[in-house]
Amino acid sequence: MAEALANFKRKHDFLVAIDSDGCVFDSMEIKHKECFIPNYIKHFGLQAISKYARETCEFINLYSKDRGANRFPAYIKALDLLARRPEVQARGFKLPAMNGVREWLKRETKLSSGTVKAEAEKTNDPDLKTASAWSTAVDATVKDLVHDVPPFPGVREALEKLFPQADLIVCSATPTPALQKEWAEHKLDGHIAEICGQEVGSKAEILAKARTFGYDTSKILMMGDAPGDMKAAKTNGVLYFPINPNHEDGSWAEFNKAGMDRFLKGTFAGDYEAKLIAEFEKYLPADPSWPVA
């Protein structure tokens, strides 16, 4: 298993950790709607309630405060929300319990296709085998389908301005090979000191490792489009710049106009950051619009 920032060398006083899907690339919709969810319906046997499975998964992974979460806890949460839908109950549909995966989530922090496959082979647990088959299929579909998805306007400009002044890392719950492919495809990887995906741990763990390189916490910035990104930042006592879902162009414009300079000049924390976060928290609800039992 890879170690976070194993090859990293500090060059500057500032560090910027950047999420990828939905933050740098407009790839959240295509990945979940075309890659994750069809394979979820297939491997978890949800064909009879596919309409509700799709709607529920889209809410959890794209349009709720769980947006951007690691695939395994997020899609287990989708199962639990499905179980509370009156339409699913009315059909008498029995959802898979996936207890083997739930127990694995309690003891594993590096949640990836590789770790779930290794655990499935070790334990021979049928739930873990299902989760492994699903996750592997998702990775294959992403590799086959997701390409030519450019970065949001303003991203390239921001990276080019930051690169001479700050160390830049990718901090993501996406598999590292997919991240490497996407960042290289659009020639953005040359600005990045290291790409850290799901195999090296959670975003909070990646940031915790980054702190060991001696940066002052006031000089570390996390950029992301999901509440989990903000939680990882605040867990580590570092700054957070939100990329607002469905308003990404405006967020990057604000970062290039004011956020970057404030970060580099030490005036980011306080009222400015608080205002950004207050706006960010308006975009993603905790509960769905439909009734739950």
For the stretch 108-137, pLDDT in tens is 988 999 999 999 999 999 999 999 999 999
Same domain, 258 and 179: yes
Residue with tokens 């580590």: 236
Mapping DSSP to helix (H, G, I), strand (E, B) and coil, where does residue 43 land?
helix
8 falls within a domain: no
pLDDT at 5 (0 to 100): 87
Q: Is the pLDDT score of 13 beyond 70?
A: yes
Q: Is the pLDDT score of 21 beyond 90?
A: yes
Instruction: In whole angstroms, give the CA distance from residue 243 to residue 254.
Output: 10
CATH of the domain at 198: 3.40.50.1000
Residue with tokens 């990057």: 252
Angle at the Cα of 170 from the Cα atoms of 175 and 135, rounded to 5 degrees: 10
Instruction: In whole angstroms, give the CA distance from residue 38 to residue 35.
Output: 6
Mean of all residue pLDDT scores within the chain: 95
Same domain, 52 and 187: no
Same domain, 185 and 251: yes
Of the three residues 145, 165, 199, the one that is the final residue of a domain is 145
Instruction: In whole angstroms, give the CA distance from residue 59 to residue 54.
Output: 9
In this predicted model, what pLDDT tens digit does every residue of 185-207 receive, in sequence order? Answer: 999 999 999 999 988 888 999 99
Same domain, 126 and 165: no
Q: Which of 219, 241, 244 is nearest to 230 (CA)?
A: 241
Q: Is the pLDDT score of 229 beyond 90?
A: yes
262 falls within a domain: yes
Q: Using an 8 Å Cβ cutoff, are 245 and 265 in contact?
A: no
Q: Hey, what are 5's tokens?
A: 């920032």
Same domain, 134 and 156: no
Q: How many domains does the chain have?
A: 2
Domain of residue 238: give its range: 14-26+152-280
pLDDT at 7 (0 to 100): 84
291 falls within a domain: no
2 falls within a domain: no
Same domain, 19 and 44: no
